[in-house]
Amino acid sequence: MLAKLKTRFRAWALRRQRHDDGTVTLTQRRIYIIPTRQGFALAFVLVLMLLGDINYNLSLGYVLTFLLAMMAVMSMLHAFRNMAQLQVRAGHAEPVFATESARFVFHFHNNSRLDRYQINLHDMQGHSTVFDVAALGHSEVILNIPATQRGWLKSGRVALYTHFPLGLFHAWSYLHFDIRCLVYPRPLSHAALPKGSTPDGAGKRSTAGDEDFAGLRNYVAGDALQRIAWKVLAREQGLKVKQFSTPLGEELWLDYSAATDRSDEEKLARMVRWVLDAEAQELRYGLRLPDGELPANLGAAHRDECLRRIALFNLPQQNDPLPLVGEGLGKGKL
Amino acid sequence: MSKALTYGLLLSILMVIAPHADHLTLWVSSLCGILLLWRAYLNYSGKAQPKKWLLMLITFAGTGGIAVSFHTLFGREVGVTLLMLLATLKLMELRTARDAMAIIYLALFIIITNFFYSQSIPTALYMLATLFVITATWIQLHGRNIPLKPRLRVAAILLLQAIPLTLILFILFPRVQGPLWGLPQDAYSSSGLDDKMSPGSLSRLILSEAVAFRVSYKDKPPLREQMYWRGPVMWDFDGHAWTPGSTTEQFLAPQFTERSQTIDYTVTLEPHNKTWLFALDVPDMISLPATLSYDFRLYGKKPVNARVRYEARSNLGYRANLKESDTQIRRALQVPKRFNPRAQQLAAEWKAGYTNDAAIVQAALSFFNRQGFQYTLEPPLLGSNGIDDFLFETKQGFCEHYASAFVFLMRAANVPARVVTGYLGGEFNDIGNYYIVRQSDAHAWAEVWLNGQGWVRVDPTGVIAPARIQSGLSASVSNNAALPFMARNPPQWLRNLNLNWDALANQWNQWVLGYDNERQFAFLTRLGMESVTWQRMAVNMAAGLGLLVAVFALFMLRQLYTRNKTDKVQAAWLKLCKRMAKAGLPRAAHEGALDYAARIATARPEIAEPIHDLATRYSALRYGKIRDEQAQREFLQRISAMKT
């Protein structure tokens, strides 16, 4: 019954709410407030007290009862004020491996001279975190959501609530940033690199993999910040990433078809292990998946791109807005 | 459950049960005290809370103990005691936030039980203090890491905001005349005159400084010796104690003739849990539904168990019951023949010696006057022939002894007489312009019925200690160490302080504690509300509360939008730039504060120094890391002092 009401309320409250972009200010239109169970319990206690006051003609009892009732009323305003005019911005969620926790980052700015206490941030599955925001301060709040499977993990709608100061009122607000966290498959704990990929074999150890500038390519999420061509960006030619190449030599191909596991997922898990190992051993490696390949290369950016391809392999295409870093959150789409 | 929170809850419970300490049974107070200490120790040492079976054991033992010492588990006193014990025990099993919440609600509830015993101004202030502590603890429950100072601040703000709102509610909340259900017998405390008088009963009462009632006279107050406030009238004597007795003629109306000296006054009577009301002899009118008995007492339908206020009119000059019924005359002549033979002997002599009753009365009074009687608060103990002992041996007594002996003598001499108890005099409070009549003003006197004159008041105490009647107790008792402090003669400043305090307490009683539906009606009418109905009150109340809450909301939410000092610094700087631009030195878009200042300095060397100073301060405040309020204020002052 209560759950049903909750869902209906949510549907009503969110009927117009699209995805949030950029910085969201918690205005009164976004904050809802209802009494908590403890609030109702206090109301019950107050009614008992009032009956006692009437019955025993306790004038001071009336005073106490009224004081408590009015404190409760004012606590509603305090609860509202504890959240009002906070500014929220979603941060970047670093990719994680499956079974780890995705760390969704939210930045809360408090531009008022008022400390905010005990605000609870939670997602609809019940993962939550509690934080304070000092007056004129800023809090970086991390919401940990366990990543269970590879692909994009969306935080989905999250809610903020506070019971401050007396726990009598539940003031809450919904946030729906279109943020997501890339989840790589969980690597196998151990897997030998494909044949001929030992340092003295087919794979060529490259010590100067990042030295020769080889051109620019479009930015893809997960690219290392050091590789972004800031000067190009400053010339307003778009977000580009510098590519480097090393002298051509023998390359190690991490091939999907070379993985011997039965299920696709296991194959992918093996490939993740390969990528990590090859990167750790500083081998030049290329990635070959049934839906395409990445030429051999080396470096964090290459590794991340490989992992990304693996993570997203064979998943239904999601609206994949381009820049996904920092504040450049995807435009909300319905 | 954090340590600090536990201490907060401990303090809350301690504060709410402390006022009960003096009327709780001693062992319950001690048990609660020990439990609280134990809890504090456990919290301090970080040891585990006691086991469940142990708590159960204490709970059962405690409840059993209470049942045994009170012989019941019902009633107000028992309820309060049980509540106190349970609240303390609940502290011993503090595990979840819900337990803490239950303790807070219990504590709030216990505050109210204290009002059964006292509703004075200090109690009200103590309530506010307790509420403050509880609120601060309550906030901690929902904000675990809020430091103490801001927590106290929030608690204080909540409380201060609630106070004006409470005032509106208090004035306008429609009052219902209680009680809603039957009250247990022990619901009200009783102190004051009893309907039984035995040697020592009044002198015990005299030791109490408690206020019996307060009187304000409409015009000039009467003389002190006319301020006889009639309480229970005693007819029956068993040789030891006087009681009102009973008669089949109790509905007989008194007849007053030759009334004179009308006096109007208002009485605010403290609850005494008896039906009688006090009026000056003899009452003519009263603003309450009350009956005037055959022996001139006023009594209401129900016991006075809340403070009550009434207006009354009395006639100080009167003749009462010129014709008295035979039954009453016979009652007024009853004497237990077995006791006090010497007194009966003396009375028989008077009866033989004098022809009329008035002469016998005079004889008795001069007997008291000449035989070296003393007026004292600490009379020696009397034997079974108490009146004989008193009249012929000890000769020391208090008003009750004199009234009792006098009436006995009269009756033995065949003069109809009875004992009247009540209050005499009072203390004038010139600050509040009213009289305070305390329990220490309790008095007993006699009335005799004389043919042709009806019932006449005779006060034998007046013969022995006239000062008692004319100026009060302390003047009449030689050794007044036994008197309550204020009934002696304290220094003037202390008297004034005390009178000021009583005037305040009187206002408090009238306006806060006595604010019932009648008072509310009168007050609202005086405020200009036409036709006071509860609907109107409710509408006004809602409007008043809504308005005030809106004002609070405005102030509270405005804080969210006020620009902070950093913005002010920037605004001030930009304003200065505008002024310089008008003076012909506009700031270029790319120019930083210091560059701009340098350019101004070359163009206008006379202001080079201040402008450089300002620019340096500005860049430090705007781009520096430090947020120094003092520096900000200084900058703002300097910039407004700057001449361009």
pLDDT tens, position by position, B119-170: 889 999 999 999 999 999 999 988 777 888 989 999 999 999 999 999 999 9
pLDDT at B448 over 70: yes
Which pLDDT score, from 0 to 100, does residue A208 have?
Answer: 40
pLDDT band of residue B487 (cuts 50, 70, 90) is: low
**Contacts of residue B521, Cβ cutoff 8 Å, sequence gap at least 6:** B532
Burial of B7 (0-12, 13-18, 19+ CB in 10 A): middle
- How much of chain B exceeds pLDDT 70, in percent? 93
Which pLDDT score, from 0 to 100, does residue A330 have?
Answer: 35
H/E element, B74? none
Q: What is the DSSP letter of A262?
A: S
The answer to whether A112 contacts B178, with C-beta atoms less than 8 Å apart, is no
> Both tokens of residue A56?
């025993």
What's the predicted TM-score (pTM) here? 0.70
pLDDT band of residue A326 (cuts 50, 70, 90) is: very low
Q: How many CB atoms lie within 10 A of CB A271?
A: 29
Which pLDDT score, from 0 to 100, does residue B11 have?
Answer: 95
pLDDT at B565 over 60: no
Q: How many CB atoms lie within 10 A of CB B217?
A: 16
Query: How many whole angstroms separate alpha carbon B189 and alpha carbon B305?
Result: 8
- Tell me the longest C-alpha to C-alpha distance in chain A: 98
Mean pLDDT calculated for residue range B185-194: 62
pLDDT, chain B, mean: 85
> Both tokens of residue B632?
């900000």
Among A174, A175, A26, CA closest to A111? A26
pLDDT band of residue B485 (cuts 50, 70, 90) is: low
Q: Is A81 within 8 Å of chain B by CB? A: yes
- Cα A249 vs. chain centroid, distance in angstroms? 40
Mean pLDDT calculated for residue range A147-153: 89
The answer to whether B143 contacts A166, with C-beta atoms less than 8 Å apart, is no
DSSP three-state, residue A280: helix
Q: Which one is catalytic: B388, B399, B401, B441?
A: B399
**Contacts of residue A113, Cβ cutoff 8 Å, sequence gap at least 6:** A135, A136, B559, B562, B564
Contact (Cβ atoms closer than 8 angstroms) between residue B559 and residue A114: yes
DSSP three-state, residue A160: strand
Pairing between β-strand B279-280 and β-strand B417-424 as defined by DSSP bridges: unpaired
Is residue B612 among the annotated active site residues? no
pLDDT band of residue A247 (cuts 50, 70, 90) is: very low
DSSP three-state, residue B75: coil
- Between A269-273, B6-10, B76-80, the lowest mean confidence (pLDDT) is in B76-80
Picking from A41, A71, A165, the nearest residue to B162 by CB comes out as A71
Distances (CA, A) of B442 to B212, B301, B424: 9, 23, 6
pLDDT band of residue A206 (cuts 50, 70, 90) is: very low
Distance from CA of B494 to the nearest CA of A (A): 28
Q: Is A192 within 8 Å of chain B by CB? A: no
Contact (Cβ atoms closer than 8 angstroms) between residue B291 and residue B210: no
Mean pLDDT calculated for residue range B317-338: 87
Mean pLDDT calculated for residue range A12-31: 77
Residue with tokens 């055959």: B294
The answer to whether A165 contacts B143, with C-beta atoms less than 8 Å apart, is yes
pLDDT at A328 over 50: no
> Which residue in B12, B130, B154, B189 has the most chain A C-beta atoms within 10 A of its own C-beta, making it the best mutation to test that interface?
B154
Distances (CA, A) of B157 to A60, A92, A165, A269, B9: 21, 39, 11, 59, 20
> Which residue in A25, A33, A57 has the most chain B C-beta atoms within 10 A of its own C-beta, making it the best mutation to test that interface?
A57
Which pLDDT score, from 0 to 100, does residue A202 have?
Answer: 42
Which pLDDT score, from 0 to 100, does residue A119 have?
Answer: 92
Which pLDDT score, from 0 to 100, does residue B356 have?
Answer: 86
Closest chain A CA to residue B565: A113
Contacts of A64 in chain B (CB under 8 A): 108, 111-112, 115, 127, 131
Query: How many whole angstroms separate alpha carbon B441 and alpha carbon B337?
Result: 33
Query: How many whole angstroms separate alpha carbon A310 and alpha carbon B111?
Result: 67
Which pLDDT score, from 0 to 100, does residue A71 have?
Answer: 96
**Interhelix angle for B76-92 vs B97-114, to 10°?**
150
- Between A313-317, B98-102, B591-595, the lowest mean confidence (pLDDT) is in A313-317
> Which residues are paired to A152 by β-bridges?
A182
Among B215, B241, B245, CA closest to B232? B245
> Both tokens of residue B553?
């909301």
Contact (Cβ atoms closer than 8 angstroms) between residue B442 and residue B428: no
The answer to whether B557 contacts A113, with C-beta atoms less than 8 Å apart, is no
* Residues, chain A: 334
Among B476, B372, B468, B362, CA closest to B423? B468
Distances (CA, A) of B65 to B30, B33, B78: 13, 16, 11
Which alpha helices (DSSP H) does B299-412 contain, by range? 326-331, 341-353, 357-370, 386-388, 399-412
> Both tokens of residue B92?
């011993």
Handedness of CA A264, A269, A272, A273 (dihedral sign): negative
Which pLDDT score, from 0 to 100, does residue B564 have?
Answer: 54
Is residue B459 among the annotated active site residues? yes
Residue with tokens 């009350």: B290
Residue numbers of B between 518 and 547 with CB closer than 8 Å to A = 545
Contact (Cβ atoms closer than 8 angstroms) between residue A64 and residue A45: no
Which pLDDT score, from 0 to 100, does residue A45 have?
Answer: 93
pLDDT in tens, B525-545: 888 877 778 888 889 899 999
- How much of chain B exceeds pLDDT 90, in percent? 22
- How much of chain A exceeds pLDDT 90, in percent? 26
CA atoms within 13 A on the CB side of A309: 20
Which pLDDT score, from 0 to 100, does residue B418 have?
Answer: 92
pLDDT at B25 over 90: no
Pairing between β-strand B396-397 and β-strand B374-375 as defined by DSSP bridges: parallel
Query: How many whole angstroms separate alpha carbon B468 and alpha carbon B462?
Result: 7
Task: Choose between B509 and B262: higher pLDDT.
Answer: B262
Which pLDDT score, from 0 to 100, does residue B353 have?
Answer: 87
pLDDT in tens, B201-251: 777 777 777 888 999 998 888 888 889 999 999 998 888 888 888 888 777
> Which residue in A64, A138, A161 has the most chain B C-beta atoms within 10 A of its own C-beta, making it the best mutation to test that interface?
A64
Residue numbers of B between 112 and 141 with CB closer than 8 Å to A = 112, 115-116, 119, 123-124, 127, 131, 135, 138-139, 141
Contact (Cβ atoms closer than 8 angstroms) between residue A97 and residue A187: yes
Distance from CA of B191 to the nearest CA of A (A): 18
Which pLDDT score, from 0 to 100, does residue B626 have?
Answer: 59
Which pLDDT score, from 0 to 100, does residue A49 have?
Answer: 93
Q: What is the ipTM of this complex?
A: 0.76
Which pLDDT score, from 0 to 100, does residue B100 have?
Answer: 92
Mean pLDDT calculated for residue range B406-419: 91
Query: How many whole angstroms separate alpha carbon A164 and alpha carbon A132?
Result: 11
Closest chain B CA to residue A170: B142
Picking from A68, A78, A81, the nearest residue to B108 by CB comes out as A68
> Both tokens of residue B244?
């009102």
Which pLDDT score, from 0 to 100, does residue A199 have?
Answer: 44
Which pLDDT score, from 0 to 100, does residue B101 have?
Answer: 92
- Between B114-128, B293-307, B373-387, the lowest mean confidence (pLDDT) is in B373-387
Q: Strand locations in A69-193, DSSP E?
A: 86-90, 96-97, 101-110, 116-123, 128-133, 138-146, 151-154, 158-162, 169-175, 180-184
Which pLDDT score, from 0 to 100, does residue B191 have?
Answer: 67
pLDDT, chain A, mean: 81
Q: What backbone torsions phi and psi does residue B150 show, to the nearest 5 degrees? A: -60, -30
> Both tokens of residue B65?
């103990």
Task: Choose between A299 and A248: higher pLDDT.
Answer: A299
Query: How many whole angstroms separate alpha carbon B295 and alpha carbon B302?
Result: 19
Q: What backbone torsions phi and psi does residue A253 show, to the nearest 5 degrees? A: -105, 120
Residue with tokens 């509830």: B109
pLDDT at A35 over 90: yes
Query: How many whole angstroms separate alpha carbon B179 and alpha carbon A329?
Result: 66
